[in-house]
């Protein structure tokens, strides 16, 4: 779930979106088949400089995390962790498998290298490598996360 900022006067847990928003917003709870694109649109609307792209794979039904780019001036402050936690929470609520192939940004200075980025997904959010005994042939992505029970 997205971390809430209830320290601001007049903002309660019920009406706060995340601690990075300037205004209190309704907490996002997207459901149904189209929740990935709806959540990505909502996040882009709340954080204009954020690049996030989520898509449901038509064949496997998995939710693909295709892009999550935090602006350079907002990195290393927990925003990516908060956003990804919210994505994982929504996937758990809807019983969806998340898949992705994390790659560092090459346009600017990446906050994390490739191995650090993959380790971040594994340790923080429970993604597992899609290889060996855990190989899932329904996806081409290198990391996979099953919904929490």
Residue 38 belongs to some domain of the structure: no
For residue 122, what is the domain's CATH number?
A: 3.40.630.30
* pLDDT 10s digits, 56-101: 988 888 999 999 988 888 888 888 898 999 899 889 988 999 999 9
Kindly report the average pLDDT of the chain as a whole number.
Answer: 79
pLDDT at 2 over 70: no
* Share of residues in the chain with pLDDT > 70 (%): 76
- Specify the pLDDT at position 93: 86
Q: What angle do CA 39, 103, 112 make, to 5 degrees?
A: 95
What's the chain look like in SS3? CCCCCCCCCCCCCCCCCCCCCCCCCCCCCCCCCCHHHHHHHHHHHHCCCCEEEEEECCCCCCEEEEEEECCHHHCCCCHHHHHHHHHHHHHHHHCCCEEECCCCCCCCCCCCCHHHHHHHHHHHHCCEECCHHHCCCCCCCCEEECCCC
Residue 3 belongs to some domain of the structure: no
Residue 45 belongs to some domain of the structure: no
pLDDT at 53 over 90: yes
- Specify the pLDDT at position 19: 47
Residue 131 belongs to some domain of the structure: yes
**What is the rounded distance in angstroms from the CA atom of residue 102 to the CA atom of residue 68?**
9
**What is the rounded distance in angstroms from the CA atom of residue 51 to the CA atom of residue 71?**
8
- Domain span including residue 75: 50-145
Q: What is the pTM of this model?
A: 0.77
Residue 33 belongs to some domain of the structure: no
Counting the structural domains of the chain, the total is: 1
Residue 25 belongs to some domain of the structure: no
Residue 65 belongs to some domain of the structure: yes
Residue 111 belongs to some domain of the structure: yes
């Amino acid at each position: 779930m997205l971390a809430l900022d209830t320290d601001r006067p007049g903002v309660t847990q019920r009406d706060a979106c995340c601690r990075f928003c300037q205004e209190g917003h309704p907490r996002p709870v997207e459901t149904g088949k189209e929740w990935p694109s709806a959540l990505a649109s909502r996040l882009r609307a709340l954080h204009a400089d954020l690049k996030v792209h989520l898509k449901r794979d038509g064949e496997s039904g998995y939710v693909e995390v295709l892009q999550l780019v935090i602006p350079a001036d907002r990195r290393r402050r927990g925003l990516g962790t908060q956003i990804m936690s919210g994505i994982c929470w929504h996937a758990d609520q809807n019983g969806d498998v998340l898949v992705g192939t994390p790659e560092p940004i090459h346009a600017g200075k990446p906050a994390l290298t490739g191995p650090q980025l993959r380790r971040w997904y594994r340790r923080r959010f429970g993604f597992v490598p899609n290889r060996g005994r855990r190989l899932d042939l329904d996806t081409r992505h290198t990391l996979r996360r099953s919904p929490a029970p």
